[in-house]
Amino acid sequence: MGDLQEKGGATMPEFMDVHTGMAGITSEGLLEAHNADLAIQDDEKVNFKHAWADPQSGMVFCLSEAPDADAVQKIHQRAGHPADNIYEVPVQAE
Amino acid sequence: MGDLQEKGGATMPEFMDVHTGMAGITSEGLLEAHNADLAIQDDEKVNFKHAWADPQSGMVFCLSEAPDADAVQKIHQRAGHPADNIYEVPVQAE
Burial of A63 (0-12, 13-18, 19+ CB in 10 A): buried
Shortest Cα distance, chain B CAs vs residue A19, angstroms: 13
Q: Measure the CA–CA gap between B6 and A29, rounded to whole angstroms.
A: 12
Shortest Cα distance, chain A CAs vs residue B40, angstroms: 11
Phi, psi dihedrals of residue B11, rounded to the nearest 5°: -75, 155
Which pLDDT score, from 0 to 100, does residue B76 have? 98
Region B12-18: mean pLDDT is 97
Neighbours of B37 (CB within 10 A): 23
Across the interface, which of A38, A87, A93 has its CB nearest the CB of B30? A93
Phi, psi dihedrals of residue B16, rounded to the nearest 5°: -115, 120
CA B94 to chain centre: 19
ipTM comes to: 0.90
Region A49-77: mean pLDDT is 98
Across the interface, which of B4, B14, B53 has its CB nearest the CB of A91? B53
Q: Which residues does B32 contact at the CB level (< 8 Å), separation at least 6?
A: none
* Pairing outcome for strands B59-65 and B14-19: antiparallel
Task: Give chain A positions within 8 Å (CB) of B90.
Answer: 53-55
Q: Do A54 and B88 touch (CB under 8 A)?
A: yes
Q: For residue A11, what pLDDT band results from cuts at 50, 70 and 90?
A: confident
Q: What is the mean pLDDT of chain B?
A: 94
Q: For residue A4, what pLDDT band results from cuts at 50, 70 and 90?
A: low
Which pLDDT score, from 0 to 100, does residue B11 have? 82
Burial of B15 (0-12, 13-18, 19+ CB in 10 A): buried
Which pLDDT score, from 0 to 100, does residue B93 have? 97
